[in-house]
């Protein structure tokens, strides 16, 4: 019986320390479970979305019902921009354009349209406006060589302040 007896205050301090350790461990486990649940839910959504897309490709009636559901449920412009096949009348300025693949030129054919753009392999069809690129803007012409303006100096294309417009 060489064990030293602890006072009530020492035992309280030990129990409080174990209690805090248990609370910290519990909080850590809850955080890990929440993260794991989020990952599982995201994976479920991806799998279900892929299944819905595959079924919509095969079944025209389902595709029409899906279109109606998406039109009613998706209201944020940012989300609508990601689904141009459901919202063709909406401008998709923020949506990235569909990737175009150049068709290799055939040496036997001398046609002008030998290199044409075609839709991506995933079946996305780009709008007609993406097939023809607009001409580049004209380059600015000036008598003096262009240099970046110094700090506080107006750009070369701006008239000097106080000058009357021509």
d(CA 92, CA 77): 9
Of 88, 80, 158, give the one whose Cα is nearest residue 125: 88
More confident residue, 161 or 51: 51
Confidence at residue 87, expressed as pLDDT on a 0 to 100 scale = 75
Rounded CA-CA distance 41/49 in Å is 12
Between these two residues, 130 and 122, which has the higher pLDDT value? 122
pLDDT digits (tens, 9 = 90+) for 71-90: 999 999 999 888 888 877 65
Q: At what angle do helices 8-58 and 60-73 cross, to 10 degrees?
A: 130
Each residue of 16-71: pLDDT tens digit? 999 999 999 999 999 999 999 999 999 999 999 999 999 999 999 999 999 999 99
Average pLDDT over residues 127-148: 51
pTM for this model (two decimals): 0.43
Provide the residue ranges of all domains of the chain, joining segments of one domain with +: 8-58, 60-90
């Amino acid at each position: 019986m060489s064990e030293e007896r602890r006072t009530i205050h020492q035992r309280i301090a030990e129990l409080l320390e174990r209690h805090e350790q248990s609370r910290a461990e519990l909080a850590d486990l809850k955080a890990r479970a929440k993260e794991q649940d989020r990952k599982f839910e995201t994976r479920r959504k991806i799998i279900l979305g892929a299944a819905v897309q595959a079924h919509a490709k095969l079944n025209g009636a389902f595709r029409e019902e899906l279109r109606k559901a998406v039109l009613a449920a998706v209201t944020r412009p940012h989300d609508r921009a990601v689904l141009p096949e459901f919202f063709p009348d909406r401008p998709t300025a923020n949506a990235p354009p569909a990737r175009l693949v150049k068709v290799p030129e055939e040496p036997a054919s001398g046609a002008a349209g030998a290199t044409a753009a075609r839709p991506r392999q995933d079946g996305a069809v780009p709008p007609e406006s993406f097939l023809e690129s607009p001409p580049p803007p004209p380059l600015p012409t000036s008598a003096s060589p262009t240099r970046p303006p110094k700090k506080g100096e107006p750009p070369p294309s701006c008239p000097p302040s106080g000058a009357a417009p021509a």
